[in-house]
Amino acid sequence: MKKRIAIFASGSGSNAQKIMEHFKRSNDAEVVLILTNNPDAYVLQRADNFEIPSHIFDRKEFYQTDKVVNLLKNLNIDLVVLAGFLWLIPKDLLTAFPNKIINIHPSLLPKYGGKGMYGEHVHLAVLADKEPESGITIHFVNSEFDEGEVIHQSKFKIDKGDDLKMMKFKVQQLEHLHFPKVIESLLKKMKTE
């Protein structure tokens, strides 16, 4: 039986797209649902393009009901992937999927993580501190922003002329290259456990 993946995203969904592409022809796993807290998120169009169902929810549904948890359970989801999803995961979801929720973060955690540290905010902080390198971190999700156990990190050198646009480009290259592969290897480990 194929492993079943659900992806949460709040925006454009370029990482979600790469994951959907990666597993489109897989015999081992498939993306079965895209979830978003943003009714205008472009990730919904990407899900349509792949004929993958989507679910839009609001803050009340996410934090005060068990609708999202029940939806994931009813679909027999094996792995929940956060791909540019900006809300803290509620306790009931963490309890329902222990060590089965992962996130990608655009810095080398533990540096530049935590509440408010997402997207451009991260890159601008890294540039302001004149860091010699940055990268991505894929990690398990726990009850705190960006504090779960690290699964994978990849880094790049920050060159002298690098600006925000170049930082975004370099990070996205690493995300698109590594995120689908890390998901695949995690799902293979689940199979053997």
Pairing of strands 133-140, 101-105: antiparallel
| Residue 125, amino acid | A
Whole-angstrom distance, CA of residue 81 vs CA of residue 181: 13
Both tokens assigned to 20: 């959907």
Which of 22, 55, 105, 152 is an active site residue?
Answer: 105
| SS3 category, 177 | helix
Both tokens assigned to 108: 């080398």
Query: ω before 98 within 30° of 0 (cis)?
Result: no
| Residue 140, amino acid | F
The question of whether 105 is a catalytic residue gets the answer yes
Q: Give the catalytic positions in this structure.
A: 105
